[in-house]
Amino acid sequence: MFSGEEVNHFDCDDTIGGDEMYKGKRVTLRAVEQDDIPEMLHHFNDWEVRRFLHMITPVSAEEEEKWIQEITRQRKAGTHFLFTIELLKLKRFLGVCGLNSVDWIHRSAELGIALSNKKYWGKGLGTEAIHLLVQFGFNVLNLHRIYLTVFEDNFRAQRVYEKIGFTKTGRQRETIRRLGRYFDLFSMDLLANEYKKS
Ligand SMILES: CC(C)(COP(=O)(O)OP(=O)(O)OC[C@H]1O[C@@H](n2cnc3c(N)ncnc32)[C@H](O)[C@@H]1OP(=O)(O)O)[C@@H](O)C(=O)NCCC(=O)NCCS
């Protein structure tokens, strides 16, 4: 570039930051829109969906709207990147996923996902969405480590994280009080040099 050569954009890798990197075989990650709120409310006000999330009470449209505004502010500050997960062909809302608490010094972030449209559970779509999100984290944000916590009885999510390459690194005992008893939380993480796209 400094020698006066023009950059040939066709030589660039579209899987690092271009539109292609947000598309899998069946799902895509896109920006969260206000229009997603009715679907979000429908899903998050279902206990079966909310039970594995850190959401205690049902939520209102106003709260969801404020949450989206807050996350937009955090995206601009570079600390939280949230996406809507959409079914590629039918453009159907499936849920949301994101990387929050981005730490630019230690190059780490926390992963969160709610494939909240439960009709689509168990079809491999959550795994696909997390692959896209992890690739975004490592290739675009240039993170070194992505971590998360998962409830001890959320076996489906644990399986998905293990398939992707996350390692269980600890157990936070009796951290969650739900349904009249305490549950442990597992900590899991994945380092950039451990991640291999399947
Ligand atoms: C967790 C979640 C992201 C998984 O997405 P998904 O599309 O349903 O999962 P996938 O179909 O990609 O994979 C599910 C895997 O778990 C396995 N599984 C399902 N139920 C299981 C159980 N009870 N015990 C062990 N494994 C189980 C499936 O067999 C599959 O593994 P396989 O591919 O080896 O067969 C999604 O279900 C979800 O968002 N749930 C609600 C919110 C939530 O739990 N979020 C995570 C918080 S940490």
Residue-wise pLDDT for 169-182, tens only, equals: 999 999 999 989 99
How far is 190 from 198, CA to CA, in rounded Å? 15
Secondary structure of 154-190 in the HEC alphabet? CHHHHHHHHHHCCEEEEEEEEEEEECCEEEEEEEEEE
Q: Are 188 and 170 in contact (CB under 8 A)?
A: no
- Which pLDDT value is given to residue 1? 47
Residue-wise pLDDT for 2-58, tens only, equals: 555 666 666 777 777 788 889 999 999 999 999 999 999 999 899 999 999 998 888
**Which residues, including other chains, have CB under 8 Å from residue 178's CB and lie 6 or more apart?**
51
- Which pLDDT value is given to residue 5? 60
Reference 52, options 134, 149, 146, 145; nearest CA is: 149
How far is 184 from 173, CA to CA, in rounded Å? 4
Split into its structural domains, the chain has a count of 1
Residue 161 resides in a domain: no
CATH number at residue 140: 3.40.630.30
Residue 161 annotated among the catalytic residues of the structure: yes
Residue 151 resides in a domain: no
Residue 183 resides in a domain: no
Q: Residues 22, 120, 147, 161: which is the catalytic one?
A: 161
Residue 190 resides in a domain: no
Report pTM: 0.93
Q: 116 lies in which domain range?
A: 9-144
How far is 97 from 32, CA to CA, in rounded Å? 10
Residue 51 resides in a domain: yes
Q: Which among 159, 168, 175 is the best mutation to test ligand 1's pocket, defined by most ligand atoms within 8 Å of the CB?
A: 159
Whether the pLDDT of residue 166 is over 50: the answer is yes
Residue 163 resides in a domain: no
Q: Please tell me the residue having the least CA distance from ligand 1 atom 48.
A: 150
- Which pLDDT value is given to residue 8? 66
- Lining ligand 1 with CB less than 6 A are 49, 52-53, 95, 113-115, 121-127, 150, 154-157, 159-160, 163
